[in-house]
Structure 1
Amino acid sequence: MLKVIALDLEGTLISNAMSQIPRPGLYAFLEGCKSITDRVVIYTTVKEAIFRNIAGLLVSEGTAPKWFSTIEYVNWKGKTKDLRLIPNNEMSSSVLVDDFHKYIHKGQECRWVEIAQFDHPYPDNDSELKIILSRLMSM
């Protein structure tokens, strides 16, 4: 059973921090993640204050559940997203959902759930979050 699902923001849940276009199915994906694990956290290169503004906007628009605005944020430094930096985390029961392979910490590739990048022209029929949620539910 997964105990932590770490989520990237840009290219995974939204377009990017500038345009902030939510990926289709975002609300259902977030609620689905919350239903299958103890903890859902954000693991992004976007600074926390900017992320909190984006999360608040997504909640106010109804494209993300209310709890998303207060989701646990992982502070990190370095070039990769090391799952060991998530406080009180057992790496063997956690995953990182991310679209960018260069952020995956060496030796943790088996904990990476790769999602196709949400990129221009930001298709309305994108179903990646639905596909990834199904994969997470089977882990």
Structure 2
Amino acid sequence: MASREEARAVDDGTRHIEVLALDLEGTLISNAVSQIPRRGLHEFLVECVERFPRVVMFTTVPEARFRAIARALAGEGAVPEWFPDLEYVHWHGAIKDLRFITDAPLERTILVDDCGDVIQPAQTEQWISVPLFEHPYEEPGYVLEEVLTRLPRPKRRGEK
């Protein structure tokens, strides 16, 4: 769970976020083997693409495996039908550096991820932490719904 300061840093109303990067394993689903979707995943993804001009997948799961998992989840109705075609971030190393996202202004990019160990230390203000989704896969409430409350809302035209 993010601290009040972390939540304020992301949603202080002064930053216009252009890119939302999402982790897969432990964040949106259990893992690449069991592939259990987190409660409210479909609705979360729909809200994300409505709020942000660009949503990308930033995961350690290889792209072909991500696409197969995404197709299976879409076939089950657990995610929107466009999810298997989501932009995939190619990266390497042990740290998820937001600079791997092509044509993404660093200061206008946010990463939603369960694992703090992979976050670039200089980019922690752009990280929204979520609890690891792990066995027994039962959570009180809707974690992804709570994440939405911590994501900035885009300004409407004419708003300052």
Structure 1: which 5+ runs fail to align? Answer: none
Structure 1 residue 135: deviation in Å? Answer: 1.0
Give the equivalent residue in structure 2 for 1:103: 118
**DSSP 3-state at the match of 1:108:** helix
4+ residue runs over 6 A deviation: none
Structure 1 residue 126: deviation in Å? Answer: 4.4
Of 20, 43, 46 in structure 1, the residue corresponding to residue 61 of structure 2 is 46
One-letter code of the match for 1:34?
V
One-letter code of the match for 1:87?
T
Give the equivalent residue in structure 2 for 1:90: 105
Q: Deviations over 1:73-129 (max 9, x none)?
A: 000001110001100000111100000001101200100000111111101654110
Structure 1 residue 137: deviation in Å? Answer: 3.6
Give me the whole-angstrom Cα distance separating, in 2, the residues matched to 1:45 and 1:86.
Answer: 14
Give the equivalent residue in structure 2 for 1:116: 131
Give me the whole-angstrom Cα distance separating, in 2, the residues matched to 1:8 and 1:111.
Answer: 14
Of 66, 70, 77 in structure 2, the residue corresponding to residue 55 of structure 1 is 70
Of 18, 21, 33 in structure 2, the residue corresponding to residue 6 of structure 1 is 21
Instruction: Judge conservation of contact 2:32–2:69 (CA < 8 Å) in 1.
Output: yes
Give the equivalent residue in structure 2 for 1:35: 50
Residues 123-132 or 80-89, more deviating: 123-132
Give me the whole-angstrom Cα distance separating, in 2, the residues matched to 1:126 and 1:69.
Answer: 27
Give the equivalent residue in structure 1 for 2:142: 127
Instruction: Judge conservation of contact 1:24–1:125 (CA < 8 Å) in 2.
Output: no
Instruction: Judge conservation of contact 1:11–1:119 (CA < 8 Å) in 2.
Output: yes
Instruction: Choose 1 or 2 for highest CA Rg.
Output: 2
- Count residues with an aligned counterpart: 139
Instruction: Judge conservation of contact 1:99–1:116 (CA < 8 Å) in 2.
Output: yes
Of 83, 101, 104 in structure 2, the residue corresponding to residue 68 of structure 1 is 83
One-letter code of the match for 1:6?
A
State the TM-score, normalized to the length of structure 2: 0.84
Structure 1 residue 138: deviation in Å? Answer: 4.5
Structure 2: which 5+ runs fail to align? Answer: 1-15, 155-160
